[in-house]
Structure 1
Amino acid sequence: MKRPKLKKASKRVSCAKRFKIQKKVREHNRKLRKAAKKTGISRKPKKDAGVPNSAPFKEEVLREAEQRKQELEALKEQNKIAKQQERAEKRKKDKEAASAEVEPAAKKAKQAKQAKKERKATKSREARAALVKEKSAKAFKCCELNKVIEASDVIVEVLDARDPLGCRCPQLEETVLKHEGKKKLLFILNKIDLVPKDNLEKWLGYLQAECPTFLFKASMQLKDRTVQQKKQRGTNAVLDRSRAASCFGIDGLLQTLNDLANKKDGETMLKVGVVGFPNVGKSSIINSLKEIRACNVGVQRGLTRCMQEVHITKKLKMIDSPGILAAPSNPGDVMALRSLQVEEKEESPLEAVRTLLKQCIQQHIMLQYNVPDYRNSLEFLTTLAKKRGFLQKGGVPNTELAATTFLNDWTGAKLSYHCRVPERQGLPSYLSESIVTELQSGLDMNMVRTGNENVIRGVRFPNLASSLSFTSKGPTAGVLNVSELPKETITTTATTEADEMDMTASTDKPEAETPISKMETPIQESTQKREDKPPKETKVKFVSVNVDLTSMQNNNNDDSYDFNTDFV
């Protein structure tokens, strides 16, 4: 009630009403605490346990953590200063704009140019910050790989049987063989069910002359996460004899590793480091030996980002590692298969498909994917997208999704392709006859050969006619030390379509005028406008263009490939 001669009403209330309000507040807070207790939400922050004293390489881990923390703080401080400068400049501009009502046109143009330059500087700072973050991730992978090499007694390099020479890293092998601890090096030829039998036997003889080699086919249907689930599967589940669930090569590899473990001291375990390029099957091999899904696996490359120890037996321990970083100096098709550029958005999947198609015979690709004759990679991806049903709004083919599917077929365990075994021209520079003899010492080579022969007899191999022929570029150069990481430079990217209209290397047909070449697209008009300008040093970026091939197929029925005829 408002008292007379006063502007505001009194805030006094009766004691009963005040006590009733306090009681309601207490009941409300009690309900909130009870609900938080049920959901497990605690207001008290959990204390960081830190790194235990028993952890290996504790000092290195703490040093790396402190270094990353300093880098993040410096980056945060730099961004804070940049934002403060931007706000100050914005206030200054607003003040000048308010004070000056009418300004000359020259002054306005100058201010617009200044604003454009500031926006460009801001973009360059953001790009530089992204490069710093990316380089720190690559450095962390290099450190994890070096930890695996240091902690292991035996190094197992996993090779893809479809391109064994392309999966070898000379820098890694030289580092292992010249290590002071005299570590053993073994080869595992994985995914052997995706290559013809004759090609596999030739590659086995080629690799066996340099290092002990084991044939392996990992299981792809392990879904158990614990040992209890594995026991339940063994007791009441039906035995799966499908091609994906079957695993070959476990007995010979385990017997050899157990023999090496028995030769060590009674209390020490044999540590086996599994290394290799991304998506060659390192984690799948460990899961097959453990018979449960101990490591995370999938078609996507780069799932393993740090070292992981898995106990196989009482005397044997396997150490999983992240993939080896491929050096940027490698060819384009090697980077498309052995690096993580597509996953890290450094390279377009369309450009990776274009480089892969140049290394294959066009007729083999046509028969494998059941597509008609194509002039370039864009036509191939457009046809594949229509055939698979990858359509966007309005029935436009999704070439990006088709390119990703094509790359998954090549890097995953689905597509069958093989490489020709090269003629032997002596041992590599870091290998000698004495080193080869030392690597074979302590191993029962007769047992290894017998195990490989049993694996070859048990695996079902594809026919040579159904397997693609692929041209390998030799061993892949890798980066093991942080100092060897390339210094990335920030460059402006420009789009062009000139490279996409080139014929693939495998086609022998001359270029002819087709309805596709006569079609006018906005990108072609932009490229014609840019031809009048002086050329600049720009980075080529692959651009997808939606092309309708139905009109071309209707007009060129005479030139289309007839699949009813026999192809020799």
Structure 2
Amino acid sequence: MKRPGLKKASKRMSCSKRFKIQKKVREHNRKLRRDAKSKGFGKRVKKDVGVPNKAPFKAEVLREAEQKKLKLEEEKEKKKLAKQQERAKKRKKIAVEEDPKPKKARKELPPQDDLVKQMMKQNDPRNSKKHLCSELNKVIDASEVIIEVLDARDPLGCRCPQLEEAVLKKGNKKLLLLLNKIDLVPKENVEKWLQCLQLEFPTVAFKASTQMLDTTVLEKKARIAACRAVDQTKGVACYGSSCLLELLNEYANEQGREGLLKVGLVGFPNVGKSSLINSLKEMRACLVGVQRGITRCFQDVHISKTIKMMDSPGVVAAESNSKAALALRSLQVEDNEETVLEAVRSLLNQCDKQQIMLQYNVPDYRNSVEFLTILAKKRGFQQKGGTPNTELAATTFLNDWTGAKLSYHCKARGEDYSSPIPL
């Protein structure tokens, strides 16, 4: 009971209560000893006295006892080995019954980090060029309006003439150009590119939103966790959505049309096709990320009552292109380590070394291997034994290029178009 004037109640108890507790403990222990004695657990094991010293032939008796003991141990080991052999035979029989064909030896892959393992999906049939091309053809055949999404940093490098010709040959389809990621280049450059591209096809400037609703609780938790490490002070509002929707609504309301307007999105990897759908839908309807090739299959999303958009995998770049173009546009860069290292080497050869040193805060380097080693040590990318993980550093460098960390842009046609590789 708490007495007045005290903050806490006293832990002292009355003597009668304490004696009752002690009595119950003694009775409980007595009961346990009685039960153990009845079961034989409490009896002490009698000690082996051995052979007395006065016994005749003591040495012979001890020798016979030792030999008997050794024989028992040998028999015990033989039985143990026999059991192990029987178990091994049973395992072999079960394995032969389940899989009669002998399994081929698997090639051991070098140890890599989880990020590289996620990006390397060689055994996935959806990674094949044939599958990606078939999914892209499905989108083109099923859609009435084709939107070719271009990266504002390099619009000409993102255009695919073969794809545009294939769309125009069908005759009954309309082709639009969408200049995405306009927030990563100067405003004057965007205006000049719009003037150049509008001479060929209708062109819309667009900036995807970086903040939208989550479809599940897990996505919301993941976004909140990512926000703690990512600076989101930049604008998160979408730009260009109203202009694009007005243009699509005009196509949808044309005379003689019935049903939904099917709009297909095509373009190279990581130009923002899935982000465009999420921005128009104002929720996370498609998976997006810095890594290229997240979208592997045809998927359609209803934007409104009259418009349905279809997302497609990225266009597969031909191997005849330059190494720098393949490094920025190709899906196959993530397939193996050698291609990733070659892509970084080709990009570094065309970059300004001083700008790279300032961007990553690294000292002067002689070649790409030395740069990746320094970057891996600086970021803490290590393998077993403390060796720097240059493959993960190369993947990080490529992600910076495809993302928004490294700033670069190319000039419009009227200003002597140049490669966008230099920073």
TM-score when normalising by structure 2 = 0.63
Match of 2:266 among 275, 279, 287: 275
Matched, 1:471 2:409: no
1:156, 1:274 within 8 Å by CA — same for their partners in 2?
yes
SS in 1 for 2:333: coil
Query: How many corresponding residue pairs?
Result: 299
Q: 1:174 maps to which residue?
A: 165
SS in 1 for 2:286: coil
Q: 1:491 maps to which residue?
A: none
Match of 1:411 among 396, 402, 408: 402
Q: Give the 3 Å change call, closer, same or farther, for CA 351–152 of structure 1 in structure 2.
A: same
Question: Shift in Å at residue 295 of structure 1?
Answer: 0.9
Question: Shift in Å at residue 398 of structure 1?
Answer: 2.5
Comparing both chains, which one has the higher relative contact order based on Cα–Cα distances under 8 Å and sequence gaps of 6 or more? 1
Residue by residue over 1:352-390, the C-alpha shift from the partner in whole angstroms, topping out at 9 and shown as x without a partner, is: 111111222222222222222222112222222233233
1:221, 1:244 within 8 Å by CA — same for their partners in 2?
no
Match of 1:398 among 372, 389, 409: 389
Structure 1 vs Structure 2: percent identity of aligned residues? 65
1:341, 1:347 within 8 Å by CA — same for their partners in 2?
no
Residue by residue over 1:519-562, the C-alpha shift from the partner in whole angstroms, topping out at 9 and shown as x without a partner, is: xxxxxxxxxxxxxxxxxxxxxxxxxxxxxxxxxxxxxxxxxxxx
Matched, 1:165 2:113: no
SS in 2 for 1:363: helix
Q: 2:353 maps to which residue?
A: 362
2:376, 2:382 within 8 Å by CA — same for their partners in 1?
yes
Counterpart residue type for residue 200 of structure 1: V
Aligned counterparts, 1:481-500, within 5 A: none
Counterpart residue type for residue 224 of structure 1: D
Cα distance in 1 for residues equivalent to 2:403 and 2:360: 16
Cα distance in 1 for residues equivalent to 2:405 and 2:237: 15
Note the aligned Cα RMSD (angstroms). 3.3
Q: 1:324 maps to which residue?
A: 315
Q: Give the 3 Å change call, closer, same or farther, for CA 424–156 of structure 1 in structure 2.
A: farther
Q: 1:285 maps to which residue?
A: 276
1:214, 1:249 within 8 Å by CA — same for their partners in 2?
yes
Q: Give the 3 Å change call, closer, same or farther, for CA 371–424 of structure 1 in structure 2.
A: closer
Q: 1:216 maps to which residue?
A: 206
Question: Shift in Å at residue 268 of structure 1?
Answer: 1.4
Cα distance in 1 for residues equivalent to 2:298 and 2:122: 24
Q: 2:306 maps to which residue?
A: 315
Q: Give the 3 Å change call, closer, same or farther, for CA 135–174 of structure 1 in structure 2.
A: same
* 365-374 vs 184-193, which moves further: 365-374
Question: Shift in Å at residue 208 of structure 1?
Answer: 1.7
Question: Shift in Å at residue 195 of structure 1?
Answer: 1.4
Aligned counterparts, 1:175-324, within 5 A: 175-181=166-172, 183-225=173-215, 242-243=233-234, 245-265=236-256, 267-324=258-315
Question: Shift in Å at residue 393 of structure 1?
Answer: 4.9
1:360, 1:470 within 8 Å by CA — same for their partners in 2?
no
Cα distance in 1 for residues equivalent to 2:391 and 2:326: 18
Aligned counterparts, 1:117-128, within 5 A: none
2:148, 2:265 within 8 Å by CA — same for their partners in 1?
yes
Residue by residue over 1:105-125, the C-alpha shift from the partner in whole angstroms, topping out at 9 and shown as x without a partner, is: xxxxxxxxxxxxxx9xx99xx
Counterpart residue type for residue 219 of structure 1: S
Counterpart residue type for residue 271 of structure 1: K
Cα distance in 2 for residues equivalent to 1:378 and 1:167: 29
Q: Give the 3 Å change call, closer, same or farther, for CA 244–381 of structure 1 in structure 2.
A: farther
Cα distance in 2 for residues equivalent to 1:148 and 1:333: 28
Q: Give the 3 Å change call, closer, same or farther, for CA 264–377 of structure 1 in structure 2.
A: farther
Matched, 1:333 2:281: no
Cα distance in 1 for residues equivalent to 2:213 and 2:345: 35
Cα distance in 1 for residues equivalent to 2:282 and 2:126: 36
Match of 2:362 among 360, 364, 371: 371
Q: Give the 3 Å change call, closer, same or farther, for CA 195–381 of structure 1 in structure 2.
A: same
Structure 2 portions without partners, runs of 5+: 1-98, 108-120, 221-230
Question: Shift in Å at residue 305 of structure 1?
Answer: 1.3
1:194, 1:415 within 8 Å by CA — same for their partners in 2?
no
Larger Rg: 2
Q: Give the 3 Å change call, closer, same or farther, for CA 338–241 of structure 1 in structure 2.
A: closer
Matched, 1:153 2:144: yes
Question: Shift in Å at residue 392 of structure 1?
Answer: 4.1
Cα distance in 1 for residues equivalent to 2:160 and 2:273: 15
Question: Shift in Å at residue 424 of structure 1?
Answer: 8.9
Aligned counterparts, 1:131-150, within 5 A: 137-150=128-141
2:149, 2:178 within 8 Å by CA — same for their partners in 1?
yes
Residue by residue over 1:339-360, the C-alpha shift from the partner in whole angstroms, topping out at 9 and shown as x without a partner, is: 1123222743222111111222
Q: Give the 3 Å change call, closer, same or farther, for CA 199–369 of structure 1 in structure 2.
A: farther
